[in-house]
Amino acid sequence: MTQHQPSFVVTKGRAFSKLEQTMIWKKPQSHQTSDEELRIASEIALNWTDPEMKIFNVLLEGDAGSGKTQLAKALSADLQLPYTKITCFADMDKSDVFGALLPVINTDQEEDKDLLDAIYQSDCFEDVLALIQRHFSLTRERARAKFAELIER
């Protein structure tokens, strides 16, 4: 295990939303950086500005308990990129990975921006409605109307 932990930050100057900032993993004191982690982070950082070689996603395959999740979290910290996890299953469809198409809404209201960030991270329409219900303390019907209002804007 390697004790020296160089920085491979690839997003200097990029402003992350509040939600994205919370998704960047923080290494605990107990984390031991492996040579393999450094090799992968270095390779991603090296190719980050090359449009033909840039790595957008990393697929980790292996047995349960082999350290895939921990490595992905460590790379999030090393590269200062938001961490998300997708668990694959037999009948998986591309929409399970890429999600549904959501509208891009321009708004000047800060409250709407935070809510939209959260909506874009939701998995399905039902989750979006539940989020709006909680955020605005609305009934289900009012949440539907609020979502329609956001889309109209």
Question: Which two three-digit tokens encode residue 56?
Answer: 């957008």
C-alpha 133/C-alpha 148 separation (Å) is 13
Q: Hey, what's the torsion of the CAs at 66, 25, 98, 62, to 10 degrees?
A: -10
Helix (H), strand (E) at residue 80: none
pLDDT tens across 93-108, in order?
Answer: 766 776 655 556 566 6
pTM equals: 0.57
pLDDT at res. 106? 62
Task: State the amino acid at position 15 in one-letter form.
Answer: A
> Which tokens in the block code for residue 62?
């292996």
Question: pLDDT value at position 51?
Answer: 82
pLDDT at 25: 92
